[in-house]
Amino acid sequence: MTASGPAICTPFGDPPAIVTGVVKPDCLHGIMLGPWKDQNGNDRYACVWEPYHPEKKRHLPMVIYLHPSLFGPKTVAKTGLLVYQDNTAVGADAAGGYIVLAPIGRTTLHHYPRPDEKGLGWDNWYRQLNPAGAVTVHNALYRANADAAAIDHFVTEEVSTGKVDPGRIYVMGWSNGAAMAILYGLSRRNIAAAAVYSAPDPFGAFNDPCPQAPVPGQPANETQIEVLNPALPIMHVHNNCDIAGLCPNAERMSRQLAAAGVAVRNTIIDYAQTQAQECTLLCGAGGNGVITPAADLPGYSLGFIEHSRWPTQWTPVMLDFLRRHSLSGGAQPSEGGPHDENNIAH
């Protein structure tokens, strides 16, 4: 299996991903930002969509959307985020409206099963996401994760327009983008909350040779990584039968994050997008996921179908979860309804 680098672990997990190319995004009817050159000299881009409220274009909440691997920012059209953008309240303004910012990753080598062992995606295996940038450990310099730095750049660019409420910046993601959203949010104190779908554990999944346990303080050794923003509220929606046995991997991630002091609202759904109570172990029972289809036929068939569609019935619930968290106002009460917070699995 192709991997993103040699099996030489660092204090931040794997070495930086091997880059094989960059992609210019299709922004649909949105606005393209960039190019901006990252620390490796690669051109980086993002898409941005603003709600149609000419008189209300200041101080809006902003949702950062991170696309799944192999597919770009235009996948946002499958999530419903652009449908709800004009009239759904994610901030204090009952009139609704929020900005969607969708950076694009790079073409790299991945620690995922085929056909996702290489292609467009996010490097969630190199976990040096210190907001300060490069850091030195044991006299060795470790540069910042280039994807996190690119997200930082486009967030700063959009915030500089004066249209963004800095207390209501959120991150969402799908699959590999969900893993990167969790990792990014847990390292950035300007992120008020995260709501993601079907995330492989960014701290260890599949054949990652350098997994790390998240911890709330100074790591004891290279098998641990510090969580810099443990106050981040996270909602993770994932399938009871997911591709490559991801459900048990997600459950293990929730337990590890809880041990590090991170609150994860863990919501399992079935094929009909109805809330389920547990993983379907026929679709994979191991905590790392399943590498080969032969070892997990249900996961690579039914699980693939479920993983490949965004649970649109849960998009309003995820947006409401974000709405109830801000950096300035704290958690907000739920207004109830069929998907009330108390009806969501923890």
Q: What is the pLDDT of residues 265-307, one digit of tens each?
A: 999 999 999 999 999 989 988 899 888 887 888 888 888 899 9
Segment 4-34, tens digit of pLDDT: 445 689 999 999 999 999 999 999 999 999 9
Reported in sequence order, the residue ranges of 93-180 that DSSP labels E, i.e. its strands, are: 99-103, 106-109, 118-121, 135-137, 140-142, 164-174
pLDDT of residue 117: 86
Q: What is the pLDDT of residue 335?
A: 39
4 in any annotated domain: no
User: For the chain, what is the total number of helices (H) and then of strands (E)?
Assistant: 5, 16
b/e for 159-179, b at 16 or more Cβ within 10 A?
A: beeebbbebbbbbbbbbbbbb
Q: Say if 14 falls within a structural domain.
A: no
Q: Is the pLDDT of residue 57 over 60?
A: no
For the chain, the farthest-separated pair of C-alpha atoms sits apart, in whole angstroms, at 56
Is residue 11 in a domain? no
The answer, yes or no, to whether residue 181 has pLDDT greater than 70, is: yes
Name the residue with higher pLDDT: 119 or 2: 119
Q: Is the pLDDT of residue 339 over 90?
A: no
**Residue 2 included in any domain:** no
Tokens of 34: 């960039």
Q: Is residue 310's pLDDT more than 90?
A: yes
Is pLDDT at 91 greater than 70 in this prediction? Answer: yes
Q: How confident is the model at residue 334 (pLDDT cuts 50, 70, 90)?
A: very low
Q: What mean pLDDT is predicted for residues 87-116?
A: 89
Average pLDDT rounded to a whole number, residues 41-66: 87
Residue 13 belongs to a domain: no
Structural domains counted in the chain: 1
Average pLDDT of the chain? 90
- Tens digit of pLDDT for each residue in 107-125? 999 998 888 889 999 999 9
Domain assignment present for residue 232? The answer is yes
CA distance 100 to 112: 28
CATH number at residue 136: 3.40.50.1820
Which pLDDT value is given to residue 303? 85
Structural domain boundaries enclosing 139 = 19-343
105: closest CA among 133, 73, 144? 73
What are the tens digits of pLDDT across the range 198-257? 999 999 999 899 999 999 999 999 999 999 999 999 999 999 999 988 999 999 999 999
35 in a structural domain = yes
Tell me the three state secondary structure of residue 285: coil
- Checking if the pLDDT of 341 tops 50, the result is no
Is residue 5, in this structure, part of any structural domain at all? Answer: no
